[in-house]
A = this chain, B = another copy of it.
Amino acid sequence: MTSRTDGHALAGLAALLADPTRAGFCLALLDGRAWTAGELARSAGVAPSTASDHLTRLVRGGLLAEERQGRHRYVRLADPSVAQLVEDLAGRAPAPATPPRTLRAASAQASLAYARTCYDHVAGRLGVLLHDALLARGVLDRAGGLAVTPAGIAWLTDLGVPVEPLRAARRPLVRDCLDWTERRPHLAGALGAALCRRFLDLGWTARGTGRALRLTPAGRPALAAALALDPADLAPPARDTGPARA
């Protein structure tokens, strides 16, 4: 046969994600933070020894990066491109069709659907609203593919997000990411990450449980003003009752 990229290499990489436990690890790590081996083991419901084995394989395969601190082993996704890969796969995978069983779970799910991080950018209903508002305000444009307009560069700089430094990154400046609750695109890429970070820095948003995000009381009017939206459009759903995991 012609010399082609060997199927073994591709299969080996895919095999890393072909186990429910390892896949669960990667989904959990989509919150963009570093987890310890024990946290992941508990989250997946497996023995610590099993989790340790899985993490070693994921790190050797280049999907995860690890950092040892004392007796803890912190792992995180190796790269934004890994996060994109996991997101793309998860977006294509059939919906698990797991209706929430308890009130707590329902509330947590509503909170997740409203706003969450997708590795390092804003997703959920808030993410889609942000995406749409940026288009409406002319910060982004879709005429010839998703791009930032000259006026948008000024607007972003004014907000405290200089665009020039973002070009240095190896990843695309702007990119679509299909939202798996809204089934509509939201903004990813280097700019999506920078905006998410900026909102946190400004105190407009704050991290909740897991990858949940919430709009702060101060953030709601501020964001509405910046995006020329009605604050009512940014109303959150049911109460996020607070922390859960051990």
Q: Chain B's nearest CB lies how many Å from the CB of A87?
A: 10
- Interface residue from B10, B20, B146, B245 paired with A145 (Cβ < 8 Å): B146
A81-B90 in contact given A7-B24, A152-B144 (Cβ < 8 Å): no
Number of identical protomers? 2
- Contact residues in B for A174 (Cβ distance below 8 Å): 144-145
Q: List the B residue with the shortest CB-CB distance to A95.
A: B9
Tell me whether B85 and A81 are in contact (CB under 8 A). Answer: no
Contact residues, A1-27 vs B (CB, 8 A): 1-27
Tell me whether B3 and A105 are in contact (CB under 8 A). Answer: yes
Q: Which of A7, A23, A84, A141 has the most CB of B within 10 A?
A: A7
What's the tally of chain A residues with a CB closer than 8 Å to chain B? 74
Tell me whether A23 and B11 are in contact (CB under 8 A). Answer: yes
Q: Does A28 make an interface contact (CB < 8 A)?
A: yes
Complex CA distance for A152 and B145, rounded to whole angstroms? 12
Q: Does A86 make an interface contact (CB < 8 A)?
A: yes
Complex CA distance for A105 and B174, rounded to whole angstroms? 40
Q: List the B residue with the shortest CB-CB distance to A85.
A: B88
Complex CA distance for A172 and B188, rounded to whole angstroms? 14
Chain A 185-203: CB-based contact to B (< 8 A → 1; otherwise 0): 0000100000000000000
- Contact residues in B for A215 (Cβ distance below 8 Å): none
Instruction: Please list the 6 inter-chain residue pairs (A to B) with the smallest Cβ-Cβ separation, ordered nearest first.
Output: A144-B148, A7-B24, A14-B17, A6-B96, A147-B147, A18-B18
Residues of A within 8 A of B (CB): 1-28, 43-45, 62, 81-82, 84-86, 88-90, 92-96, 98, 100, 105, 108-109, 112, 141, 143-150, 152-153, 163, 172-176, 180, 189, 209-210, 244-245
